[in-house]
Amino acid sequence: MLTTFIKGLSVTQQIQVLIFCIALFSITSCANEGSISMDSYIQSEMKEFLAEENAQVASVVIVNHGKTYQYHFGELDNGRKPNNQTIYELASITKTYVGLLLAKAVLDNKVDIDIDIRRYLSTHTYSNLSLASKPITLRHLATHLSGLPKDLVFNDEDVRQGRVLEKMSNYSKEQFFNDLSKIELLSVPGEEYRYSSAGTKLIAYILESVYNQPLDSLLAEYIMAQSGETNTKFQYIERGLDDVVKGRNQTGDVMPLLSPYSRAGGGLTSSIESMTHYINYQLTSKNPEVALSHTFLAGNKSGNGRAYLWNTYQYDSDNPMLYHSGGSLGTSSWLALYPKRKIGVFIVTNLSANDTQSKLNMLSNDIVKQLFYNA
């Protein structure tokens, strides 16, 4: 049919059609080469990562302007290969979910991020939650500027002695608030960055109080029901633990799961399928709490800053990044969003060594550079 059509054209018209076809073929070939190049790059980089780190498995999802690319590598002890339904610990990436709930609470006028948090606490007077006449606010908690320690459950010595799991497994909400009433702030609120899972847990307890709902219900109703995630949830000792990938430390020892005890500080588990939904929700949702949760709250807009429990990089540039890492006893993960570019990357592996999260960071950065190059 095309040959018959061309024969009916003048010589000049035939030449124009030929030039058009050649150009179209070139564009299609370049696009295919870019796609193959990107695929090959990720396959090569992730296989090299697994080999160098002696990790068993890793999974990756990339969202680029609504297009999704999912990859799985390696094999578990039982011979199973990871897939889109494989459940991993998210660890501290859980905090981004708490930040999104906090943004919703602000819009619902349930909380004010710039007033004394003791307004929302009733079990003690908490005179200790102020220093130099500066009280802790939700803004301080959401940006790790509260002066609270990293955790109330355990300290660095407990980590060195391997007592973390034991202490976390026997720790209650009542103990949390009792300890909160006794701790001494390590810095004046608002003045010094100090990463604190205790601060995130306190945000979650406040949200449970102002909504009069448990955290599980808040997440299910206000995030998972909106994003379409079906595999993102808390795990409990009584159920579900066999489905979660077990990880290893840097010496190859199989590590216990930390997620059943971490709750708001790092207790969520999820799959590549659900994390794809979460990334798409973060990049495309019109719900105002999503946009608010990305709002800059503290730090340096041109360098490193913080939003609602997100870290930010070059927030005031044409290509701002929001990111968070996650690390449990045997799993490491990385989540990065580029809202203006509509790009998101999530990488997870069942290995937790001293520098695993930073290596996932570099892998994510390199993947995004490849996406920019092939755009």
- The pLDDT tens digits of the residues spanning 218-265 come to 999 999 999 999 999 998 765 567 889 999 998 999 999 999 999 999
Contact 341, 319 (CB under 8 A): yes
Q: Please give the pLDDT value at position 375.
A: 61
Q: Of 81, 35, 86, 85, which Cα lies nearest the Cα of 62?
A: 35
Q: How far apart are CA 214 and CA 73, in angstroms?
A: 36
Q: How far apart are CA 368 and CA 337, in angstroms?
A: 10
Angle between helices 11-53 and 356-374 (to 10 degrees): 180
- The stretches in the chain having pLDDT less than 50 are 1-7, 11-35
CA 223 from chain centre, in angstroms, equals: 14
Strands 343-349 and 351-352: unpaired
Q: Please give the pLDDT value at position 373.
A: 67
Q: Of 280, 316, 293, which Cα lies nearest the Cα of 64?
A: 280
Q: How far apart are CA 319 and CA 39, in angstroms?
A: 23
Q: Please give the pLDDT value at position 11.
A: 47
Sequence-distant (≥ 6) Cβ neighbours of residue 165 within 8 angstroms: 256, 258, 261, 329
The 10s digit of each residue's pLDDT in 164-211 is 889 998 899 999 999 999 999 999 999 999 999 999 999 999 999 999
Contact 57, 350 (CB under 8 A): yes
All domains of the chain in start order, with CATH: 40-374 (3.40.710.10)
The total of other beta-carbon atoms located within 10 Å of residue 283's CB is 20
Considering the entire predicted model, what is its pTM? Answer: 0.89
Q: Please give the pLDDT value at position 282.
A: 98
Q: Please give the pLDDT value at position 323.
A: 98
Q: Please give the pLDDT value at position 236.
A: 77
Dihedral over Cα of 6, 8, 12, 16: its sign: negative
Sheet strands (E) in 194-278: 233-234, 247-249, 254-255, 268-270
